[in-house]
Copies of this chain bind each other. A is one copy, B any other.
Amino acid sequence: MKKPFDLTFSVGPTQISQVVKDDIAHAVANNFLSVSHRGEDFTQISEMTVNALRQLYNVPEDYRIFFTTSATEGWEICARNLVEKEAFSFVCGHFSSAFAHCLNSWGKTCHEDVAPWGELNDHLNVDIPQTAELITLCHNETSTGVTVPDDTIQKLRQKYSDCLLAIDVTSSIGACNLDINQADVWYFSTQKGWGLPSGLGVMFVGPRAMAKSKAMLSKHLPQGFFNFTNMEKQMADGKYQTIQTPNILNIYLLGQQCKRLQQTGLQNVHNKTLVRASDLYNFFESHPNAKPFVEDPTVRSPFSLCIELGEENLTHYKQKASQQKIELGSGYGKLKKTHIRIANYPALTDTDFEILKEIFES
């Protein structure tokens, strides 16, 4: 296969920076990919990454950090470990909706509050049934380009303090700060904000979620091998291991990436994301042929911008980009032929965004 592009603004898998490419070369040359997942060398890599994640995101001591294989597996594990009968999902696009479908596929009832595409739910003015054991939301809904503001999460947490809360941060973490205390479970994969290859997921699991899973196990509600108790056992006693043979390369890369973000300062990374997003939204708002899909500026995603172009303009700009070996991400689902999505992650440089703007300047 030919090289598909030199630069991609796709929202995931995303552009991978040269420094990550160098990390891959280092891991390969030093045989990190051949270490036994039950031996000390793996433990050293895994411990480094767990500690780096914990430090970077201030993950509280009583939250467990688990390696999974994808955010999709995050849905699966939450559905099996945390919900006996009923859950509640805020749905505002494909990915938030998928969690609800996943719960259904496990035979659980999922109540939903559904916002129209391009809008965000009114989280604090919704009746969540008291029977709901888990509330789920997607921090950044990449299919439409809306993001839940931090203070909404905080207020939701206060209002429903007795209910478990699980937040999908697949397309925001690595590009923003988060207050981990504000939810019981956070889960994500590595091919978006982190700017790493696909094939690794992570979960932060708080004490109330651990307890719920244990309680379900003691009632003999089958959760399979990947129950939190089993997962914790593999990580415990300084082993830092996983049930399955994990994606060792990505675990190593994630640790290295955390260390770099730590040096830059996570709040600096977050601020840069916001400044760039603001600049890009201004650019597209004043553009004659384009406009942001999300009308309300307060819920527009700083991480994955969805821009309406119409079919003709989309073809024009995509072709123009393609001539420069640049890929513009397609709109999701029904927006595919009329919208583009633009990733705004740390792996992309300021120069990359200057090049992007030039494409849209004629």
- Whether A33 touches B248, Cβ cut-off 8 Å, given contacts A1-B45, A28-B25, A72-B225, is no
Contacts of A4 in B (CB 8 A): 30-32, 35, 41
The bracket for how many chain A residues form the interface is 35 or more
**A189-B39 Cα distance, complex, nearest whole Å:** 19
Q: Which of A84-92, A129-137, A194-202, A272-280 interfaces with chain B? A: A194-202
Contacts of A310 in B (CB 8 A): none
Contacts of A1 in B (CB 8 A): 30, 32, 41, 44-45, 48
A8 in contact with B24 (CB, 8 Å): no
Contacts of A334 in B (CB 8 A): none
Residue in B16, B29, B41, B189 whose beta carbon sits within 8 Å of that of A33 in the complex: B16
A305 to chain B, nearest CB (A): 16
Contacts of A33 in B (CB 8 A): 13, 16, 197-198
**A102-B330 Cα distance, complex, nearest whole Å:** 40
Q: Which of A147-155, A238-246, A260-268 interfaces with chain B? A: A238-246
A245 in contact with B189 (CB, 8 Å): yes
What is the predominant secondary structure among interface residues of chain A facing chain B? loop
Residues facing B in A1-35 (CB within 8 A) are 1-6, 8, 10, 12-16, 21, 24-25, 28-35
B13 in contact with A105 (CB, 8 Å): no
**A106-B12 Cα distance, complex, nearest whole Å:** 33
A256 to chain B, nearest CB (A): 11
A336 to chain B, nearest CB (A): 10
**A72-B191 Cα distance, complex, nearest whole Å:** 23
Verify if A159 is at the interface (C-beta below 8 Å from B). Answer: no
Residues facing B in A323-356 (CB within 8 A) are 329-330
Q: Which of A74-82, A110-118, A204-212 interfaces with chain B? A: A74-82
Residue in B31, B191, B222, B245 whose beta carbon sits within 8 Å of that of A5 in the complex: B31
- Chain A, residues 219-249, CB within 8 Å of chain B (1/0): the string is 0101111110010000000000001111111
Residues of A within 8 A of B (CB): 1-6, 8, 10, 12-16, 21, 24-25, 28-37, 39, 41, 44-45, 48, 69-73, 75-76, 79-80, 101-102, 105-107, 189, 191, 197-200, 220, 222-227, 230, 243-250, 329-330
Can you list 11 A-B pairs, Cβ within 8 angstroms, ordered by A?
A16-B31, A16-B34, A25-B28, A69-B70, A72-B243, A75-B225, A105-B227, A106-B224, A107-B222, A198-B247, A199-B249
